[in-house]
Structure 1
């Protein structure tokens, strides 16, 4: 293995890691795009893991905390994004296990309430209310909330506002 080539791969990986936390697969993809041979990629990833620069478990937990809180995403969307980051099913499952069902339901309710308040300002007729409920349901499903949670939250949010 050429030490200069290995050093070049290491520099690219460090620069890639400097901006934000990354998964091992993301580093692998980045180095592959830079045309590094598999042995260099593997060596750099192993070094990064041994030095604590890359930790997929910590990355997954941080990803869930950030995206769930800041973006208001549900478990389905978070799992999809983490699969895209190259995380394995066990790591994803462990990270999502940290989310309490009540917390996810409350987050969905907060997102739905905010959206419903924007829609429901002027008062709507029943046909429009039905259409807006459908739009809100689709929005929450795209955010990654499960159908049972969406159904429960839509009922609560729209009932509170129709009284």
Structure 2
């Protein structure tokens, strides 16, 4: 295919059919394929005009998907979107759509899911592991410590309410 514009359209359509992409990701792919910048800009602008490229929709969907699927918090989601070339104002708008109460509830669910795997370990070690897990997912330190501390306190209260003869 000698027509660079047709080649650029084909590259973009192939990439978009596999998964949603940002404008920056498509521009990068076109550069790697030696598509001239002015041709790439024309094709990307046309794709944006017809709605095939929509960084705002991509960012909103990314935030919903990665928060629900991986439990990522605002900070981690923002970093991922920036790495994909999404504009800062679009990143801010997308992560602001994440409700703080929902974010906290997700942090609690992550801790409760991981809590049994830490049983038997030293309490300080459990705290470090669980807070570290939340930190890697982008949760702020204050929220992480509070959620883990509450979960550990709740667990010890639950264990204290089990009668001593329950395991006889």
| TM-score bin (small chain) | over 0.9
Offset at residue 148 of structure 1 (A): 1.5
User: What secondary structure sits across from 1:21 in the alignment?
Assistant: coil
Paired residues in the alignment total 156
The 5-angstrom pairing of residues 1-163 of structure 1 reads 4-120=3-119, 123-124=120-121, 128-163=122-157
Q: Give distance in 2, aligned partners of 1:75 and 1:64.
A: 8
Q: Give distance in 2, aligned partners of 1:109 and 1:130.
A: 18
Calculate the TM-score normalised by the size of structure 1.
0.92
* Dislocated runs of 4+, deviation >4 Å: none
Offset at residue 117 of structure 1 (A): 2.0
Q: Give distance in 1, aligned partners of 2:44 and 2:128.
A: 46
- Residues 22 and 53 in structure 2, CA contact (< 8 A), matched pair in contact too: yes
User: What secondary structure sits across from 2:3 in the alignment?
Assistant: helix
Calculate the TM-score normalised by the size of structure 2.
0.90
Offset at residue 118 of structure 1 (A): 2.2
Q: Give distance in 1, aligned partners of 2:27 and 2:44.
A: 7
In structure 1, the residue matched to 2:160 is none
Offset at residue 104 of structure 1 (A): 0.4
Q: Give distance in 1, aligned partners of 2:59 and 2:111.
A: 26
